Structure 1
Amino acid sequence: MSKTNPGRFFEDYAIGQVIRHAVPRTVAEGERALYHALYPARHALYSSDEFAAANGLESSPLDDLIAFHTVFGKTVPDISLNAIANLGYAEGRWLLPVWPGDTLRSESEVIGLKENSNGKSGVVYVRTRGLNQMDQPVLDYVRWVMVRKRDAAAPAPEPVVPDLAKVVDAADLVIPEGLDFSDYDFELAGEPHRWGDYAIGEKIDHVDGVTVEEAEHMLATRLWQNTAKVHFDATNREDGKRLIYGGHVISMARALSFNGLANAQMIVALNAGAHANPCFAGKTIRAWSEVLDKAETDAPGVGAIRLRLVATTGDSASFPLKGEDGKYLPEVLLDLDYWALMPL
């Protein structure tokens, strides 16, 4: 009997199956420092204890995407070690801030299965929860992954495709306890633009770009203990390239969005997301955003803004997404729909 983990294949999943993922991870200031070294991340609420305290929090929490990547990374050995592609996200919500010293673990429930017509792979839908050391959920999201079959002759399961909300309702957004933007310091935050200055349909070119390097993307992926072979082993793909973890592109684009959205401080929901095309080292990532919706919240001085964040290797100022055939243009890497909190 082999003691090594070959990963699960499509026929190893069953509806209702719950997987408790190894290994719990205590996160601390080291994660913040390395995250800010890997990405040009500088949103004030995640950079300064004093700024966070002035806005009603006990101190500066860890970046929302540190929480996401840590929770996501735990799931890889069980969900996507044999994945062909990570296809999408839905119904994601940040439920509690993650503080330095918190210990995070992950568990996933299989909520959908559908074999592909080629009989060689299928799509697995899971709802993943990240929990802290008190077993409090800090994050909850659905993702679906195309996974290889071990045996193409294995019978197909009864197809189950979950009915997922296209958008997290603004009324269901969870605002961190105590958050108060009434005395928000726009000068220290870096930009004067508040919630009322953004119009639905407005598009923002974030101007800056970052060229991705092999060492940096592998370091980032290791930080989240993501073990997917395609990110590290150049022999795992026919083209001999290491595929860059999609979360690395998300974090890079989010950090680049500071220029124009410095006051979109906290991500609180993930409505949808597509990794439109693969990214490889040597590519220069640029980003643009579109304002999709706005909503007020019950927290003092806090508004919610729904944004589409697009990462591209092309000219971000041209705002292209798809061609006449309805498919993403080859320079589009990421199409992400999320809610963030911003001062009114």
Structure 2
Amino acid sequence: MMAKTNPGRFFEDYSVGQILTHAVPRTVSGGERALYHALYPARHALYSSDAFAQASGLPASPIDDLAAFHVVFGKTVPDVSLNAVANLGYAEGRWLLPVYPGDTLRSESEVIGLKQNSNGKTGVVYVRTCGLNQRDEVVMEYVRWVMVRKNDLDAPAPETVVPDLNKVVPADQLVIPTGLDFTNYNFDLAGEPHRWGDYEVGETIDHVDGVTIEEAEHMIATRLWQNTAKVHFDLTFRPDGRLIYGGHVISMARALSFNGLANAQMIVGLNGGAHANPCFAGTTVKAWTEVLDKADTPAPGVGAIRLRLVATKGGEPFELKDENGKYKPDVLLDLDYWALMPQ
């Protein structure tokens, strides 16, 4: 009799060029925004107020860029990372269209690389994922790579294919939402006076605040994104603790960065990212940022700023790697992204 349940894919089940059409489209609503803002101290004005967004040239306030990312990401988990050991990194991410309440999101991925690890028990799978709306428009795209278990340890290793990925999304390839205009930007309502010209490349910002990760909130968030990865829920799968979904740490750090970067309104590019060390419940997350680059955009009053966002377990700010180039044990996340900011 044919099995009815899905054990998830293992490393030997992937092949380069394989197209994965992920199940269960999701129509988003204001509920996603309300719950996202309840789970994180998220308060960027453009994602909080229709009136603020309309004054900035958009038809309404979009769903938070990372909330949309989590929905798209969550669709991929049953096919890409259900049997993952860890999500290793990101590259070439771009937000191409805002997502508004009422939009329906679905995801598709292409396997673009495979590399079996030397232990013969796991391998790294590289996928390029697109999130699409109900009009089949691509709203975002990104590459990620995941370490996945083998089920059949005797399965032959595939030919190694490691994709050549851009380390940075070029500024001229960032997509600015149609109509976005920051020439009449209200800094008082946004919460801080600092504009694009006030930030210097090489500047570092300690975001000061911290939030302790709670077990229940993490599991609510991960279920909200319909992320079914076993390591986030099943203590028998990882007895040292439920691994906190890396996206939960990303959203927490981004929300904490409001203190010092309240006007970094929209994330439009994901250059790279690494979950440097595992995070478990009870960890107090703090964050700091380094300004890596700046660029003009064709949109009126809108500048692009490239930021390195680092989440830590409450360690000293501005310490990232040791003398051997290895992430320090207090570092949870190293995320390199582009954001849009009023000039």
Deviations 1:50-95, CA, capped at 9 Å, x for gaps? 0000010001000000110000000000000011111100000000
Which amino acid in 2 is paired with 1:331?
D
SS in 2 for 1:22: coil
2: CA distance, partners of 1:228 / 1:121:
16
Within-5 A mapping of 1:132-211: 132-211=133-212
1: CA distance, partners of 2:171 / 2:124:
29
**Are residues 1:337 and 2:326 paired?**
no
Report the counterpart of residue 77 of structure 1 in structure 2: 78
2: CA distance, partners of 1:179 / 1:72:
26
2: CA distance, partners of 1:28 / 1:248:
20
Which amino acid in 2 is paired with 1:224?
W
Within-5 A mapping of 1:290-301: 290-301=290-301
2: CA distance, partners of 1:314 / 1:153:
43
SS in 1 for 2:108: strand
Report the counterpart of residue 18 of structure 2 in structure 1: 17
Which amino acid in 2 is paired with 1:70?
V
**Are residues 1:238 and 2:239 paired?**
yes
Query: Where do 4+ consecutive residues of structure 1 move more than 2 Å?
Result: none
**Are residues 1:274 and 2:274 paired?**
yes
2: CA distance, partners of 1:169 / 1:325:
29
Contact between 2:210 and 2:314, CA under 8 Å: does it hold in 1?
no
2: CA distance, partners of 1:52 / 1:314:
34
What is the TM-score of this pair, normalised by structure 2?
A: 0.99
Deviations 1:213-250, CA, capped at 9 Å, x for gaps? 100000000000000011111111132x1110000000
What is the TM-score of this pair, normalised by structure 1?
A: 0.99
Q: CA deviation at 1:284?
A: 0.3
Report the counterpart of residue 63 of structure 2 in structure 1: 62
Report the counterpart of residue 310 of structure 1 in structure 2: 310
Report the counterpart of residue 42 of structure 1 in structure 2: 43
Contact between 2:111 and 2:126, CA under 8 Å: does it hold in 1?
yes
Instruction: Count residues with an aligned counterpart.
Output: 342
Which amino acid in 2 is paired with 1:158?
E
2: CA distance, partners of 1:282 / 1:116:
32
Task: Give unpaired runs (5+ residues) of structure 1.
Answer: none
Cα RMSD, aligned residues only: 0.7
Which amino acid in 1 is paired with 2:138?
P
2: CA distance, partners of 1:203 / 1:271:
18
1: CA distance, partners of 2:222 / 2:83:
17
Q: CA deviation at 1:144?
A: 0.4
Which amino acid in 2 is paired with 1:282?
G
Q: CA deviation at 1:164?
A: 0.2
Deviations 1:158-217, CA, capped at 9 Å, x for gaps? 111100000000000000000000000001000000000000000000000000110000
**Are residues 1:256 and 2:261 paired?**
no
Report the counterpart of residue 92 of structure 2 in structure 1: 91
2: CA distance, partners of 1:128 / 1:231:
21
SS in 2 for 1:235: coil
Deviations 1:73-121, CA, capped at 9 Å, x for gaps? 0000000001111110000000000000000000000000111111111
SS in 2 for 1:252: helix
Which amino acid in 2 is paired with 1:29?
G
Which amino acid in 1 is paired with 2:183?
S
Q: CA deviation at 1:325?
A: 2.4
Q: CA deviation at 1:152?
A: 1.1
Deviations 1:311-334, CA, capped at 9 Å, x for gaps? 001234x31111122211111000
Report the counterpart of residue 224 of structure 1 in structure 2: 225
SS in 2 for 1:23: coil
2: CA distance, partners of 1:298 / 1:85:
39
